[in-house]
Amino acid sequence: RKEVEQDPGPFNVPEGATVAFNCTYSNSASQSFFWYRQDCRKEPKLLMSVYSSGNEDGRFTAQLNRASQYISLLIRDSKLSDSATYLCVVGSSYKLIFGSGTRLLVRP
Amino acid sequence: GAVVSQHPSWVICKSGTSVKIECRSLDFQATTMFWYRQFPKQSLMLMATSNEGSKATYEQGVEKDKFLINHASLTLSTLTVTSAHPEDSSFYICSARVRDQRGYTFGSGTRLTVV
């Protein structure tokens, strides 16, 4: 079983749609949680950290459920520029473990 | 913000040669640098962790004699792919944790093609 699992997608949605990504992780001792965005052939860029209380940054909302070892990302009012691969990332001790990513395609 | 400068951004080399990839932290001191590899349509896989002034820690299955890591200063870490083979062709990315921040900053990556 992978340490961090994500649905690879792709999610193909129209502009303005709301889309949700889910992620599960296997190590209950994990301490930090992030969503990163990766554009094709580019390095990952931090989208947001994820906290147990849930957090929001503009159109993006992230949730963490430690009991279920589940992380989510909600994108509202999708823009064409949101098209990318979204990586669920879990930190344990000093290491980051990356999910394989969920690809999002936003169409006009 | 914290920036990690990675060079080269792409390189093509012949089988059997060695390639050195550099990562420099430009405006902060990176005591620890992480080296990742990403094959097409796969996730980033941690190869090794380099600590300034000490030996790197390699992940299981990563050959330390093939992927030489040097972290001689607080601002520079290098990865040398020795005796490169076509199967080493991949996207190599370095990353450092920025003090007082929960996130990690990444270099822009090096696309290695071995022919």
> CA A31, CA A56: separation in Å to the nearest integer?
19
Q: How much is the average pLDDT of A46-61?
A: 92
Residue A54, pLDDT score: 87
Greatest Cα pair distance in chain B: 42
Could you give the count of Cα atoms lying within 13 Å of B55 in the half-sphere of its Cβ? Answer: 4
Residue A99, pLDDT score: 93
> CA A70, CA B104: separation in Å to the nearest integer?
21
Judge: A43–B46 Cβ closer than 8 Å, yes or no.
no
Residue in chain A lying closest to B91 (CA): A41
The residue assigned the tokens 């001191």 is B29
pLDDT in tens, B54-97: 889 999 999 999 999 998 888 999 999 999 999 999 999 999 97
Residues 8-37, chain A, touching B (beta carbon < 8 A):
32, 34
Average pLDDT, chain A: 93
> CA B102, CA B64: separation in Å to the nearest integer?
29
Q: In the predicted model, is pLDDT for residue A32 greater than 70? A: yes
Query: How sure is the predictor about A60, in pLDDT bands with cuts at 50, 70 and 90?
Result: very high
* More confident site: A79 or B27: A79
Residue B30, pLDDT score: 85
> CA B20, CA B94: separation in Å to the nearest integer?
13
Residue B102, pLDDT score: 59
CA distances from B33 to A17, A42, B88, B103, B104 (A): 38, 19, 20, 13, 10
Q: In the predicted model, is pLDDT for residue B108 greater than 80? A: yes
> What would the DSSP string read from start to end of A64-92?
EETTTTEEEEEE-S--GGG-EEEEEEEEE
pLDDT in tens, B8-30: 999 999 999 999 999 999 988 88
Residue B2, pLDDT score: 80
Residue B100, pLDDT score: 58
Which residues of B fall within a CB distance of 8 Å from A42? 108-109
What is the length of chain A? 108
The helix/strand/coil state of A25 is strand
Q: In the predicted model, is pLDDT for residue B101 greater than 60? A: no
Q: Which residues contact A2 (CB under 8 A, 6 or more apart)?
A: A26, A99, A100
The CA distance from B109 to the nearest CA of chain A, in Å, is 6
Q: In the predicted model, is pLDDT for residue A1 greater than 90? A: no
Percent of chain A exceeding pLDDT 90 equals 74
Percent of chain B exceeding pLDDT 70 equals 96
